[in-house]
Amino acid sequence: MSAYRGVVSERSTPPPSSDASPDEEPSGTPRTRSSGHLRTLAEFVIALTVLALIQGFVVKAYQIPSASMEQTLETGDRILVNRLDSSIERGDVVVFEHGDTWDTTHKSPSDNPLINAARFVGSVVGFGPSTRAYTVKRVIATGGETVSCCDDQGRITIDGVGLDEDYLGSNFGWDPGTNDCSGTAVSMRCLPEIVVPEGSLFVLGDNRTNSADSAVSCRGRVGTEECARFVRESQVVGPVIARFWPPSHIGGIPR
C-alpha cells in the first residue's frame, strides 16, 4: 500500500511594512543629493559673506611682497590691519591703497576681461586680485609738519627735532665732513625741507636703501625743492597691528 503525500499549498509572503509616505524619497536619491548640494552652497556663500564683511570693516590680512620694510616686515610675512582705527600717528606702520600711481585710485583696466572680472570679485570679497594696489610704509610726518634731513647726527628732523629710528633695516651712508649735506659729496640720506600738506602723510620704508617711498625723488638734494610725493589720509586702510605668519614672526609691530 503506497503512502499518500499531501501537497502543501504555497502562501505568498506579505511585503514588509514601511513608515515612509508615498511622497518621501529614500536616502541617496537624486532629490536628497540635490538638497545636500544646495545646503553646502548656501553655507559656502554665508561663510564668504561673513569673511568679506570682516575684511571690509574690521580687520584685513595682507602679504608683504617686497623687502622695503625690513627689518620690521620681511618678504612673505602675513600681517593684520585694523580697519576700525582711523587715527594716524607718527611712527604707525600703515597700509594704503592706490592705483597705478599714488595719485590714482584704481589700476588701469586689463585687456583681458577675465582679469578685470577677477579683480572686481576680489575687491568685493576682500581677497584675491583687486582693482586697487596696496602698499605698506611707516608714517614719518603728518599734515602741517616739516621734514628735513639731516641734523648733525644724520637723523631726519620733524619741525627741527631729530627723529630716533631704532627700527631701521638699512640707511644711506653718513660721515660728517666727508659724506653729509654740506660738502660736495652729498649723502643720499639728505633731503630738502618738505612741508607735508594738510590731510596728507609723508611715509618711508624702514629699509631706506631699498624703498620707493615719499622721498624716492628727493634723495641727495638740499634746499626747498618740491620733489616729495604724499599719501592722502583717505587712502589709508588702517595701521598694521600684528604679524600672524610665519609662526617665527608672530608678534606686534615696533614703533
Active-site hit among 17, 18, 34, 68? 68
Cα–Cα dist 78/246, whole Å: 7
β-bridge pairing 78-82 and 236-245? antiparallel
H/E segment holding residue 201: strand 200-204
Phi and psi (nearest 5°) for 240? -75, 125
Q: Give the CB-side neighbour count of residue 219, counting CA atoms within 13 A.
A: 18
Contacts of 58 (CB under 8 A, 6+ apart): 83, 84
137 is catalytic: yes
Active-site hit among 60, 130, 137, 211? 137
Cβ 94 vs Cβ 240: under 8 Å: yes
68 is catalytic: yes
Q: Among candidates 156, 170, 191, 137, which has minimal Cα distance to 71?
A: 170
Cα–Cα dist 143/189, whole Å: 22
Annotated catalytic residues are 68, 137
